């Protein structure tokens, strides 16, 4: 690592950038701590950041191992926090969350343990909330004409597709949409659904 190279690295503090031979371990530790201060990260994400900054693999591994020992890097805690916040803010189902965790470099036991924190009831409630938010304030067709039935079917398909993109299985998504829209029919007799 040369001085000029370290000056170009935004995560390296001035006192290390000016050192003609800074300790690679100190540079790596500084990069990791700054990354963690900005937002939680998985070990894999931190490895990628260190690799981008040309930190040798053995140094990166040693620094990350040490930070795991003191629990500053903890994929299990990261996964649990990630699942909780993404499920709450985006209404994602377990399948979508599992894919996102894999993209972040968290899989296996840590991912599964985090996904187990979402109950089926919570997952269903999130899906119902997503559908209700999507139709809130919209004028929904309520007649028995062919156009109204076609529009209802189109609405059901769009809402079910939205849930499928959030990771909900197709059968569950369709059932939730029909339940929500059927509830509207019961409440206001404004949106009848065909049972076929």
Q: Is 91 within 8 Å of 129 (Cβ atoms)?
A: yes
Condensed to tens digits (0 to 9), the pLDDT of residues 29-88 reads 999 999 999 999 999 999 999 999 999 999 999 999 999 999 999 999 999 999 999 988
In this prediction, residue 184 carries a pLDDT of 61
Q: Which of 152, 154, 153, 128 minimizes the C-alpha distance to 140?
A: 152
75 by DSSP, 3-state: which? Answer: helix
Interacting residues of 101 by C-beta distance below 8 A, sequence separation 6+: 79, 82, 83, 107, 111, 114, 115
In this prediction, residue 77 carries a pLDDT of 94
In this prediction, residue 193 carries a pLDDT of 42
Predicted confidence (pLDDT) at residue 187 exceeds the cutoff of 70: no
CA–CA separation, 111 and 102 (whole Å): 8
Condensed to tens digits (0 to 9), the pLDDT of residues 135-178 reads 887 766 666 777 778 888 888 999 999 999 999 998 899 999 98
């Amino acid at each position: 690592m040369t001085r000029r190279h370290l000056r170009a690295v935004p995560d390296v503090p001035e006192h290390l950038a000016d050192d003609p031979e800074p300790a690679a371990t100190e540079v790596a530790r500084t990069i990791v701590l700054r990354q963690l201060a900005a937002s939680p990260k998985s070990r894999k994400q931190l490895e990628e950041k260190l690799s981008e900054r040309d930190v040798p693999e053995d140094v990166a591994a040693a620094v990350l191992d040490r930070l795991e020992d003191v629990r500053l890097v903890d994929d299990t805690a990261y996964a649990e926090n990630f699942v909780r916040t993404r499920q709450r803010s985006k209404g994602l189902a377990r399948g979508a969350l599992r894919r996102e965790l894999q993209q972040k470099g968290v899989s296996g036991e840590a991912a599964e343990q985090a996904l187990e924190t979402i109950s089926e009831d919570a997952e269903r409630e999130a899906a119902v909330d997503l559908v209700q938010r999507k139709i809130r304030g919209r004028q929904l067709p309520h007649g028995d004409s062919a156009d109204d039935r076609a529009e209802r079917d189109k609405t059901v398909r769009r809402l079910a597709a939205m849930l499928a993109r959030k990771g909900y299985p197709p059968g569950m998504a369709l059932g939730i949409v029909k339940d929500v829209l059927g509830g509207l029919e019961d409440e206001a007799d404004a949106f009848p659904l065909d049972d076929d």
